[in-house]
Structure 1
Amino acid sequence: MSGSVDSAEYRLQMDGLAQALLDPVVSRAILAPGAAPIALHIFEWSGPQFQNTLVDWTLVTDAPTLNAIAGTLRGTGRSPSPPSTALGTAIAVAATALKNGPACWKGTIDVSGDGKSNTGPRPQDLGDLAQLEGVTVNALVINTIDSMGAGPGDEDLMSYFENLVIRGPGAFVEPAEGFEDYTRAMTRKLLREIDALAVGGLAPDQVPDKG
């Protein structure tokens, strides 16, 4: 998240992610018997030199682990950060974390933001980054207009993320209509990703017919 995010908006994001992880439908899907195991690595970011790990790689195997992750997020205060948005750098750092993390059959990078990258490498210029091979990058876009009516329009920002940021198999953008809508949007986004894991882990003859 960029340094332009104020303290209230920061809190809505941290608490929103925690609440989404603990949503009964989400937590049941994560912890369901036989479900694909999920490991989480969570960091905040802003400028090219600012990435702060909040939760290091953690395999989510039970409710206490999920509760602990949510508790960490809720207890995290905002760190001083540069007033810039290095989205490309954040994706590259996440890709390196995936490469150095636990072995997995599917890697997904989740980014959320309310604006476009304005420093560092552009997201669309990361195509040759080896660590991104086979990785899906999804995004949660927070559509906001400030009190002066400034800021990218909803359609413009969605188009930016759809065309220049997300990538990989099944990549998608989930919109949030303002920071107050963050919890709902994150809950929906997590459920879509968990559902994709469940279907992706099936043999072709086991995939349900949705037609």
Structure 2
Amino acid sequence: MIRPIAIAASFLGSPAACDCRQALALGLDVSGSVDQAEYRLQLDGVAAALQSPEVQQLILSEGLAPVRMAIFEWSETHHQRILVNWTDIRVRQDLARIEANLSSVTRSNAPQGTALGSAMQFGADLLAQQSECWKRTLDLSGDGKRNLGPHPQEVKNELSRSGITINGLVIGVDDADQSDQRTVQVSELTAYFTASVIMGPDAFVEVALGFDDYKAAMTRKLIRELESLSLSEVGRTTRP
């Protein structure tokens, strides 16, 4: 059972309730370690997660301001491509349009490197456009550590007063025959994201054991993020 989001009736009557309940920017890793099949698993995984009944129930909560979503891909310092621009999600048809957009996307000629810090900066700039939202969250998926561009820890320090939350979805190697290696790789990457990437209230790291597990991991992640909007957070993010 999905827990209801705690919002006071008096707050719902305020002008801020006409704006946006939560801004979610999803950043997908398209660096050189991600092949064409894995690229498609990410896009299809996001689309499927948005169609899950639990996620839809949380997004389409009646009487609440809408969730607003943007989706982008990232690799090197100057490669960030918006796949879905900011979209208010009010009805199921809005989710269906996002799914259709993701289904029609073809992979660009993205450079090979992994500029995780630059992806954090790009996502933060996107969220800065949504200052009226009660909560602003950046979701960053990745299967490796930064190998060029600003260090994520430095960017995290720069964004410490931005008021945003950054969550991570780490992706393990897909070869099930290398189970020991996959466990070590996921553990190391989870620790890396925990120390240097995630930040803000209730920030967390979700884990996909491989790209085949991405849909399930994204679904868990969205449910956790959408459930986390408590009355105390609403007051904190809308207070002048």
Report the TM-score when normalising by structure 1.
0.89
Partner of 1:97: 126
Q: 1:75 to 1:132 in 2, by over 3 A?
A: farther
CA deviation after TM superposition for structure 1 residue 158, in Å? 0.9
Q: 1:190 to 1:147 in 2, by over 3 A?
A: closer
Partner of 1:112: 141
Asked whether the equivalents of residues 130 and 136 of structure 2 are also in contact (C-alpha less than 8 Å), the reply is no
Q: 1:89 to 1:202 in 2, by over 3 A?
A: closer
RMSD between aligned alpha carbons? 2.3
Instruction: Report the residue type matching 2:225 in the other structure.
Output: E
Percentage of identical aligned residues: 46
Q: 1:160 to 1:18 in 2, by over 3 A?
A: same
Matched, 1:67 2:99: no
Partner of 1:209: none
Partner of 1:14: 43
Moved more, 64-73 or 98-107: 98-107
Instruction: Report the residue type matching 1:100 in the other structure.
Output: Q
Instruction: Report the residue type matching 1:165 in the other structure.
Output: V
Asked whether the equivalents of residues 156 and 199 of structure 2 are also in contact (C-alpha less than 8 Å), the reply is no
Matched, 1:129 2:139: no
Match of 1:83 among 112, 121, 125: 112
Q: 1:19 to 1:148 in 2, by over 3 A?
A: closer
Match of 1:194 among 219, 226, 236: 226
Q: 1:147 to 1:119 in 2, by over 3 A?
A: farther
Match of 2:201 among 148, 157, 169: 169
User: After the TM superposition, which parts of structure 1 deviate over 3 Å for at least 4 consecutive aligned residues?
Assistant: 145-152, 198-203
Report the TM-score when normalising by structure 2.
0.78
CA distance in 1, matches of 2:108, 2:95: 23
Instruction: Report the residue type matching 1:194 in the other structure.
Output: L
CA distance in 1, matches of 2:186, 2:157: 29
